[in-house]
Homo-oligomer: A and B are copies of this chain.
Amino acid sequence: MKKRPSTVCPIVYALDIWGDPWSLVILRDVLIHNKRHYREFLASRERISTNILSARLQSLVDAGLLVKTEGDSNRAQTMYRPTQKALDLFPVVFAIMHWGLKYNPNTDMTIPIMQELTTNEKGLELRLLQNFEDVTS
């Protein structure tokens, strides 16, 4: 992703941070599927490759959306957790999901989130936010 210099437009600012094809997939996994570990992101259906995953995690940390905590003497404990700045993307992610739900005929409606999104979005958001009480409190 190219870096546009400081922009005056909030949309371009956002795109410069997570407007590539992969960052939002990672953020979706963090926010909605409660993933924390490198191995979990790798396992997503979309099959992100390791070099890209590594680079995107790094850039999301640099942009202040994720915080990386490394376990002492065990790399398997490395975790990526969202900051408030990432949690504030919930409305964006939900809006995108609404749009995708309307127009993607292949959406898998058996994913529990999908039903709840249409029937009880606010409740869904509050429930998901409970995964991050350490951040929000």
**A97 — which chain B residues lie within 8 A by C-beta?**
10-11
A8 to B97, CA, bound (A): 12
Give the contact-size bracket for chain A: 35 or more
- With A20-B21, A24-B19, A95-B92 already in contact, the answer to whether A100 and B8 are too (CB < 8 A) is no
A1 to B22, CA, bound (A): 11
As for how many copies of this chain the complex holds, the number is 2
A15 to B99, CA, bound (A): 11
6 nearest A-B residue pairs (beta carbon): A10-B100, A13-B104, A8-B108, A95-B95, A92-B95, A91-B95
Q: A7-B104, A13-B104 are in contact. List 15 more A-B contacts (CB 8 A).
A: A9-B28, A9-B45, A9-B100, A9-B108, A10-B101, A11-B24, A11-B100, A14-B96, A14-B99, A19-B24, A88-B102, A88-B103, A89-B99, A91-B98, A94-B95
